[in-house]
Amino acid sequence: MQQHDQKQEYLEQVTTQIRCKKARATVAEEISSHIEDQKAAYIEEGREEESALAMAIEQMGNPAEVGRQLNKIHKPKTAWRILLLVIILCSMGIMAQISINQFMIANGNSSTINIGKHIEGMVIGIAFMLLMYFTDYSILGRYPKIIWMILLAAVVAYAPFGPRVNGQLFYLHAYAMLFLPAFGGIVYAYRKKGYLGILKCLLFCLMVALVEINYISQCYVYLGLVLSSLIILSIAILMNWFGTSKWKSLAVVWGWSPTIILTAIITNTYLLSSYQTTRLQNLFQVILHPDLYPEGYQMNVIRQILSGAKLFGESPNLSVESQSLGYITNLNSDYILTFVIEKFGLAAGIGVIALFTIFILALIRTSLVQKKYLGKFVGIGCTMVFAMQGGIYIISNLGFRLISQVNLPFVSYGRTSLIVNFIVLGVMLSVFRNTSIREEVPYQQKFRVNMDRIK
């Protein structure tokens, strides 16, 4: 039997034991590499090439047994712990919203929310999550710039027709979160490109921020996108992705780019409206003395409520007086955590914060253990989506409202945000699912469509 046929027969016997068809090519390449390495070692010992190959194959072991062992490794995986945490968060959110509705009805407030619509959004979100879960996330690495431009084009196309609330485009603040997983693909595309690659990544980051600023008034969206993107880029630099000096590269990332943004904010150049600039300029004074400023009204109310909260059980402040203080109308979306602390005690609030923190830590761990660079950074991008929203939300609910309010992922009321968060979760689960299935995908420098010539 010829050498090629002998090795190929062995590889086929091994790969037929692999149930996941996508993983078979990876397994065959891995086994072939081992055989060739061992064959070379035997040849160095003085063996004939044919004999060396036969001995190398024999050393690999019974092909059926090897295949069964590899099948246990190279198969789709599901992050059950992450899913369990999301189920718990969703359940807590539904129970908290039901409790808020009951409280508002008991106090004569008719501004209740439709729990059915929230559950409907959850069902739609789960459907999208499953779609993303079974979609190969590596498309973000093959065509990152095309995907980025499609996301930007969708914003521009939506702008003339989208409904506006208080001057801002509705739904767009949630949609913007999709740029962070896509940024993982951008960083992957420019790895090993030196300082020029870093600058190009910054250009993509600032590009989307400038587009979002024109259509969204919540500064947490564009500032959050920029900050999260810079963190992702910094992690890539610390992992020596670009082959540059780490400290010089970090100086580039955290030096001139934030300076441009802050200068534009302070001088009110192009980026922010006058009321947004004034708000940012007075931010720290408002945080320190919320009772002295109209902008600090809600922070002052929250601090008064939390100061009277018990460790366990309902606070005596939970009454009609709370409703008159002016923050109650946004409980279902903006201040669920504050309500939980006042209704069920500080221990319950700490429990919610701890559970969400565990969820974020689980996402971080899942991202960092990825052997594939693309999976690692797409995972980090997904993690930043949840960490950014959750961090701002928790700080705001503790009486330190730094910037515009956001939702607590999977807990707060808001169908659009819920659906987008489930989409991002689906991408994260796809990363974990494909951990051991296929090799790293190359970035496509050009998008090509090959067509056979018609004869």
441, part of any domain: no
Q: Alpha-carbon dihedral of residues 397, 399, 403, 407, nearest 10 degrees?
A: 10
Quick one: 24 and 91 in the same domain? no
DSSP state of 413: S
Quick one: 116 and 39 in the same domain? no
Looking at the chain, the whole-number percentage of residues with pLDDT higher than 90 is 19
- Residue 168 sits at φ, ψ, to 5 deg, of -110, 155
Domain count, the chain: 2
* Residue 112: predicted pLDDT: 72
- Domain of residue 392: give its range: 80-433
* Residue 264: predicted pLDDT: 54
Cα 421 from Cα 51, distance rounded (Å):
57
Average pLDDT score over residue span 31-53: 76
pLDDT per residue as tens digits for the range 48-80: 777 877 777 777 777 777 667 666 666 667 788
Average pLDDT score over residue span 131-149: 89
* Residue 424: predicted pLDDT: 95
323, part of any domain: yes
Do 359 and 386 contact (CB within 8 A), yes or no?
yes
Q: Which tokens hold the place of 262?
A: 């802050």
Quick one: 55 and 98 in the same domain? no
Quick one: 216 and 297 in the same domain? yes
Average pLDDT score over residue span 71-97: 84
Task: Place 446 in a pLDDT band, splitting at 50, 70 and 90.
Answer: very low
Quick one: 57 and 92 in the same domain? no
Which residues, including other chains, have CB under 8 Å from residue 177's CB and lie 6 or more apart? Answer: 385, 389, 420, 421, 424
Which residues, including other chains, have CB under 8 Å from residue 330's CB and lie 6 or more apart? Answer: 405
Quick one: 95 and 68 in the same domain? no
Quick one: 31 and 121 in the same domain? no
* Residue 97: predicted pLDDT: 87
Final residue before a domain boundary, out of 28, 43, 73: 73
Task: Place 186 in a pLDDT band, splitting at 50, 70 and 90.
Answer: very high
Quick one: 291 and 385 in the same domain? yes
160, part of any domain: yes
Cα 130 from Cα 423, distance rounded (Å):
8
Final residue before a domain boundary, out of 17, 42, 73: 73
Which residues, including other chains, have CB under 8 Å from residue 238's CB and lie 6 or more apart? Answer: 246, 250
* Residue 207: predicted pLDDT: 82
Cα 187 from Cα 237, distance rounded (Å):
10
pLDDT per residue as tens digits for the range 264-306: 555 544 455 555 555 555 555 556 555 555 455 667 677 777 7
Which residues, including other chains, have CB under 8 Å from residue 323's CB and lie 6 or more apart? Answer: 104, 107, 109
Quick one: 32 and 164 in the same domain? no
322, part of any domain: yes
SS3 at position 164: strand
pLDDT per residue as tens digits for the range 346-378: 898 999 999 999 999 999 998 888 878 888 889
Quick one: 224 and 342 in the same domain? yes
53, part of any domain: yes
Final residue before a domain boundary, out of 46, 73, 100: 73
Cα 65 from Cα 51, distance rounded (Å):
23
Let me know if 102 is exposed, middle or buried by CB neighbors in 10 A (0-12, 13-18, 19+): exposed
Checking if the pLDDT of 18 tops 70, the result is: no
Mean pLDDT of the chain: 76
Beta-carbon count within 10 A of 298 CB: 20
Quick one: 63 and 93 in the same domain? no
* Residue 196: predicted pLDDT: 92
450, part of any domain: no
Query: Which DSSP string corresponds to 283-343?
Result: HHHHHH-GGGSGGGHHHHHHHHHHHT--SSS--TT-SHHHHHTT-GGGTTTT-HHHHHHHH
Cα 168 from Cα 104, distance rounded (Å):
28
In a 13 Å sphere around the CA of 165, the CA atoms on its Cβ side amount to 5
Query: Which DSSP string corresponds to 237-273?
Result: HHTTSS-S-HHHHHHHHHTHHHHHHHHHHHHT-SSS-
- Contacts of the segment 323-330: beta carbons below 8 A, 24+ positions apart: 323/104, 323/107, 323/109, 325/301, 326/297, 326/298, 326/301, 327/298, 327/301, 327/302, 328/104, 328/109, 329/111, 330/405
Termini Cα distance of the chain? 41
440, part of any domain: no
Checking if the pLDDT of 165 tops 80, the result is: no
Of residues 200 and 23, more confidently modeled: 200
Q: Which tokens hold the place of 292?
A: 């002295």
454, part of any domain: no
* Residue 320: predicted pLDDT: 42
Quick one: 67 and 136 in the same domain? no
